[in-house]
Chain A
Amino acid sequence: MSEGRPADFEGYWRDALDELACFPPSVETEAIPLRSNDSSSLFGLRFTSSGPYRLFAYLGIPTGEGPFPAIYKAPGYSSVVSPIPQGAASQIRSRYVTFSIAARGLRNADKPYAAEFPGLLTDGIEDPRAYRFRGIAADCVRGLEILRSRPEVDGSRVSVQGGDLALITAALADGATHLVCGPSLFYRTMEMARSGDGYPLAEITDYLRQRPGAAEAVESTLSHFDLRWFAPRVSASTLLEAGPAGSALDRSGLQSLIDALPNPPDVYESQRSNYKDGMFVETWVSDKLGCGEPILPEHWR
């Protein structure tokens, strides 16, 4: 099962976390009246991660007596970070503390480094220690630390959600009680890139077409990010969002990740419908966090 796991995997990430610990978060908090209302308040946070690098996050706090369950949104492969995901019912901010982080390079955290799309996935990819996602993973850990430090947060109900970085965060940081993860980038990455032609994984094949001699180094770097090697560290109750049946990342395609998680996850195969997929996730999260009925957008009710 551990075939392909780098021998220095533990040391690599221990060093990354040790480096992060050298920098105090030094959080600045600023209210955002434009996006606040009677039922919730929104804040913009600025804080420091490894490097040092100054980051940004949106923090939403429900009105009323806490503590509240929390939803931590890990960054996806996009420059834009929103207070809550596009299409989510804005009323969820009245139930959950919401936290969405702009890791280094993303909008609001793009000075001095601005990530390129396409481009980010191969930035520094020939050296595991220079690979941009090493810092981004540290950013995600720092974000969860900050969220958990908030007195409004019920530490027994912290749901980390997103793509690959959600699982990496739940593995590297303390305190994720629930995890919703849709793997796409860092699961058997070289194999997936070679078998497909779509972006963002095509960034890797583009890169190797230009630098065929770098294949071994690229594979070595990516092996430090494979979700299978993080999975044994995940203690959160987990929902894996698999691709549609028959796709490379369907339930059977994810089997080695499923097997690597210490607690059997719930696995949902996409129905190729944002509505059906979204309904399932919202219902799962609401149920698992003990919140009862999910808060759904108007056209899903």
Chain B
Amino acid sequence: MSRPTMEQYVSKVAKPQDFDEFWGGVLEQAARVPLNPETRYSALRSDPGVEVYEVFYDSIDDVRIAGWYCAPRERSGKLPAILTLPGYQGEPGIPKEWARKGYAALSVAPRGKLRSNAQFNPGYPGLLTHNITDRNTYSYRGFYVDAWRGIDYLLTRDEVDGERIGVTGGSQGGGLTVTTSAMRQEVRAAIAGAPYLCGYVDSIELTRTYPYEEINDYLRLHPGSREAVVETLAYFDGINFADKIRCPFVIYIGLQDNVCPPETGYALFRAVGSADKKLYAADGHGHDAGKHSIEAELDAFFDTHLKGATV
């Protein structure tokens, strides 16, 4: 597909009539679950510049969520904060690099990741199609909420300035950045790299690579479920969340991305509701999305929106 054709790609996803009602119900359910945060200092992972903590909190469906929380040892006053969200296969890292840049940082392991899989563990491959014919039990229903509640955790921290919270991640973390920014208005700036979970049904036609190929595998074995699958995924598609995003928002994509088709990145960008939005499209790059060449710009973006607003 040529670049102009990619840029004009129109997603096939339709927004369900009851999209807001559905997610409103989920949020109501989540609001009834106390966070019960627990923060344990990790002497092993802390170093002279950064305090590291193991974090746990409750989410819906009685699932206990884990994370890593870091803060710079040297600080004066409240800190801006970054929520980092993980990719599909990898384990969430310890976000020391953000702390070294002067942020409090939380890296969340949503349900099914290693330290959050005691109650829910569909496996990899598997997560993407777990209960995919039922929006009320689909894996990402809870998974999204787990990420969103990372904001609630940050708000419990005395050292965090709740008015200066940013969100970022790549791949699945990019998709979660979209939904988190849309559903949590506390987010003041966000950067989504090579966003996954945006244009699911488009992607299974545009590429035949895993993880999206999990859906094609499922449909091959269960051809009669296609309508139900498409219906479910519409509730979880980042493109359908994007119009709710009001904060400054950056998306970066690779035009040769073999995992998350760039066409869906363009469709997502058009759907983002924020007036302050920017897209970096890197030619010659795959799922790395050219991040290496724009790291200074990305850092400056957060510095402007999260540090520039120093009270």
Contacts and interface: CB of A to CB of B under 8 A. Distances in A.
Interface in A191-216: 197, 199, 202, 205-207, 209-210
Contact of B259 (A80, A86, A118): A86
Interface string B198-238: 00000000111111010011101100000000000000000
Contacts of B209: 86-90, 297-298
Interface stretch (B22-30, B57-65, B90-98, B182-190): B90-98
Nearest to A79: B114
A264 B29 CA distance: 62
Contacts of A209: 47
A90 B287 contact: no
Given A209-B47, A272-B288, A300 B256 contact: yes
B195 to A, nearest CB: 15
B292 A272 contact: yes
Interface stretch (A32-40, A132-140, A149-157): A32-40
Contact of A86 (B211, B221, B288, B290): B211
A299 B284 contact: no
A276 B282 CA distance: 12
B254 interface: yes
B210 A118 contact: no
A267 B290 CA distance: 23
B124 A83 contact: no
Interface in A261-301: 272-276, 278, 297-300
Contact of B286 (A87, A91, A107): A87
Instruction: Name the residue among B114, B213, B258 with the largest chain A CB count within 10 angstroms.
Output: B258
Instruction: Name the residue among A34, A209, A299 with the largest chain B CB count within 10 angstroms.
Output: A299
B47 A108 contact: no
B45 interface: yes
B162 interface: no
Nearest to A42: B217
A107 B121 CA distance: 10
B208 A78 contact: no
A37 B220 CA distance: 8
Instruction: Name the residue among A83, A205, A206 with the largest chain B CB count within 10 angstroms.
Output: A206
B258 A278 contact: yes
Nearest to B284: A273
A199 B94 contact: yes
Given A78-B89, A274-B287, A275-B254, A118 B114 contact: no
B286 A90 contact: no
A118 to B, nearest CB: 7
Nearest to B290: A273
Contacts of B124: 80, 82, 107
A205 B254 CA distance: 34
B120 interface: no
Contacts of B93: 199
Given A209-B47, A272-B292, A82 B125 contact: yes
Interface in B253-287: 254-259, 261-262, 284-287
Interface of A: 33-35, 37, 78-80, 82-91, 107-108, 114, 116-118, 197, 199, 202, 205-207, 209-210, 272-276, 278, 297-300
Interface of B: 43-45, 47, 88-91, 93-94, 96, 114, 123-125, 206-211, 213, 216-218, 220-221, 254-259, 261-262, 284-288, 290, 292-293
14 contacts: A34-B218, A83-B210, A86-B88, A87-B287, A88-B209, A89-B208, A118-B94, A275-B257, A275-B288, A297-B207, A297-B209, A297-B258, A299-B207, A299-B258
